[in-house]
Amino acid sequence: MVAVKIDGKAFAETVRGDLAKHVEQLQREHGITPGLAVILVGEDPASEVYVRNKGKQTRECGMASFEHKLEATSSEAELLDLIGSLNADPAVHGILVQLPLPAHIDSDKILNAIDPAKDVDGFHVSNVGLLGTGQKAMVPCTPLGCLMLLRHHHGKLDGLNAVVIGRSNIVGKPMAQLLLRDNCTVTIAHSRSRDLQNIVRSADIVIAAVGRPEIVTGAWIKAGATVIDVGINRVERDGRKKLVGDVNFESAAEVASAITPVPGGVGPMTIACLLANTLTACCRARGLPEPLGLTA
């Protein structure tokens, strides 16, 4: 292996440590506790693990965590009611609705019902529009976490070729916006892209957000590239359940100059950025200065 392993877990711990200090100061000087509400609809076991981890880390940072679990059969109207009450609750500064939602619920309608000022996922159309036009927005957590890792390990990204594989609203598209804002030349690839391998081979920065276990191998990577693996795929290897990314770590690490592992890469940064966005939302709501350097 020639590549440096980018330790997202350690970096996320540092970010959460900084957050905890700001939260403590907010409490001490203003008597304010930032609050994050998470809504989970249905019983998806993987989602429950995220919700539990998020709740634990939220409390460890000194913030308040409100968890709402709804039956999978809950109606859109019930969910809209809950969002309405959280929008009106001054103790709640951030609202996250865990995705995907059950098929009978219109996700866009739900996401757009969240007060944009409390939309810590950055999925509301207003925040998407603000980000796309270069205005102050809530920035989606996973792309923001990737950007923080890239800036930290690579420095300035000006003029670099970045290839984002995946065009979802939650990862691929906002990731491309952030890289463009940092002056990369951005290509977005997807399932209809022709000659994906050669597109990826042109990249100084590769962001894999595909949801296909280890689809990207070392043979696709330009020597010296930086590889950010967003994928979280549960697979069975040698009779054991295991978590792998969208990148084959072993082979990619032979050619890349730096690469994130799965687990321990982007995932922990996503949660750290969610908490950072909650603190930012809280400061904006109370007209207080935003702690610098935590969000983009």
- Look at residues 146, 150, 149, 152 and name the one whose alpha carbon lies nearest to residue 166: 146
The footprint of ligand GUE on residues 193-212 (CB under 6 A) is none
SS (H, E, C) 35-81: EEEEEEECCCHHHHHHHHHHHHHHHHCCCEEEEEEECCCCCHHHHHH
The phi and psi torsions of 5 (rounded to 5 degrees) equal -85, 120
Rounded Cα distance, 280 and 270, in Å: 15
* Partner interacting with residue 49 (select from ligand NDP, Mg ion, ligand GUE, none; CB below 5-8 Å by kind): ligand GUE
Rounded Cα distance, 217 and 26, in Å: 46
**Residues 232, 245 contacting (CB under 8 angstroms):** yes
Q: According to the binding rule CB under 5 A, does residue 47 interact with Mg ion?
A: no
Residue from 98, 226, 257, 278 in contact with ligand GUE (CB under 6 A): 98
**Is 264 assigned to a binding site?**
no
DSSP state, 219? G
* Strand pairing report for 240-244 and 233-237: antiparallel
Q: According to the binding rule CB under 6 A, does residue 262 interact with ligand GUE?
A: yes
The footprint of ligand NDP on residues 167-186 (CB under 6 A) is 167-168, 170-172
Q: According to the binding rule CB under 5 A, does residue 168 interact with Mg ion?
A: yes
Residue from 28, 192, 194, 240 in contact with ligand NDP (CB under 6 A): 192
The phi and psi torsions of 194 (rounded to 5 degrees) equal -90, 140
Is 54 annotated as catalytic?
A: yes
Q: How far is the CB of 48 from ligand NDP (least distance, A)?
A: 15
Q: According to the binding rule CB under 6 A, does residue 150 interact with ligand NDP?
A: no
The footprint of ligand NDP on residues 233-292 (CB under 6 A) is 233, 266-267, 270
Rounded Cα distance, 267 and 246, in Å: 13
Residues contributing to the annotated binding site:
166-168, 232
Residues near ligand GUE (CB under 6 A) are 49-50, 53, 96-99, 121, 141-142, 232, 243, 262-264, 267-268, 270-271
Residues near ligand NDP (CB under 6 A) are 142, 165-168, 170-172, 189-193, 196, 209-212, 215, 230-233, 266-267, 270
Q: List residues with catalytic annotation.
A: 54, 98, 121
Residues contributing to the annotated binding site for NADP(+):
166-168, 232
